């Protein structure tokens, strides 16, 4: 009976260290960009505010990271599916 009660208890969600580090870095970058809104010369575009210049590579990095991570996850899922199919074929 006690084992059933322990299973129903929910643990508080924990934040992985990676997310906490990313949140601190993102907060620092936002604070830095917020205080640096002066226009700076950018060769092909003329003068742009520094916070926009910082936001562009950040967004590109987020998109590329998401694409790479989703591709790796999809490859791992396909590998797991193939292994399960092989295991099922070996049993029969």
pLDDT at 20 over 80: yes
- pLDDT tens figures, 30-88: 888 788 888 989 888 889 888 888 888 888 998 998 888 887 777 778 888 888 888 88
With bands split at pLDDT 50, 70 and 90, how would you rate the model's confidence at 26? confident
Between 32 and 15, the more confident residue is 32
What the block records as the tokens of 81 is 């599916």
Contact 53, 42 (CB under 8 A): yes
């Amino acid at each position: 009976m006690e084992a059933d009660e322990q299973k129903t208890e929910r643990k508080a969600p924990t934040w992985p260290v990676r997310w906490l580090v990313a949140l601190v870095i993102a907060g620092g970058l936002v604070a830095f960009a917020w205080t640096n809104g002066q226009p700076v010369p950018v060769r092909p575009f003329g003068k742009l505010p520094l916070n926009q210049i910082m936001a562009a590579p950040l967004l590109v990095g987020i998109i590329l990271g998401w694409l790479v991570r989703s591709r790796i996850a999809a490859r791992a899922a396909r590998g797991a599916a193939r292994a399960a199919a092989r295991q099922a074929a070996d049993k029969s």
